[in-house]
Amino acid sequence: MTEICYIIVGGDSMTHRAKLSLLNFSIWFIMFVIFSISFFASTYPEVLPLSNYRTTTAILFLVANFSNVIILYFQYKKERSDERNKRIEALSAIGTMIFIMVLVFLGSITLHVVFADSGLVPISWLWYLGYSTAFMVFIVFNLSYVIVSLKGTGYES
């Protein structure tokens, strides 16, 4: 448990870029949770002030992307890219692509199985699948960058 807390607060082995990726992951994860709550609570308008989940989604994407731009500014301002960073990004991108393809496939198959008898999938579920996939790309990429950078790429001496 203490090792996890040490990693979260930025242990010695975390680079500046990994710390910013962890921050970026946190922001996107929080926005995804709010998006999911908004989607599932949209049938109960009194739960959230913005009961229209499409408006909430647009606002959440704006906030998360603005935060992403600020984080990237600080990331590239301080650090130069090297071969290790390129290798970590490549491994993170591969992991993200595989995870997202499996997630979209399972989500699509689940929607098909659940609504096979009616022959129609509610459009709101497709909306949720599309936007949750976009959220997941940012979440998984940033988290995988942190994990790969802490685990190592195999090129360390």
Residue 125 φ then ψ, to 5°: -70, -35
Count of other CB atoms within 10 angstroms of residue 56: 20
In a domain, 86, yes or no: yes
State the Cα–Cα distance between residues 138 and 157, nearest whole angstrom.
Answer: 30
Residues spanned by the domain of 62: 2-151
In a domain, 62, yes or no: yes
In a domain, 59, yes or no: yes
Output the average pLDDT for the chain.
77
- The single residue listed with the structure tokens 């399972």 is 106
Give the CB-side neighbour count of residue 132, counting CA atoms within 13 A: 21
Which H/E stretch holds residue 75? helix 53-78
Above 90 in pLDDT, residue 29? yes
Tell me the average pLDDT across 91-95: 86
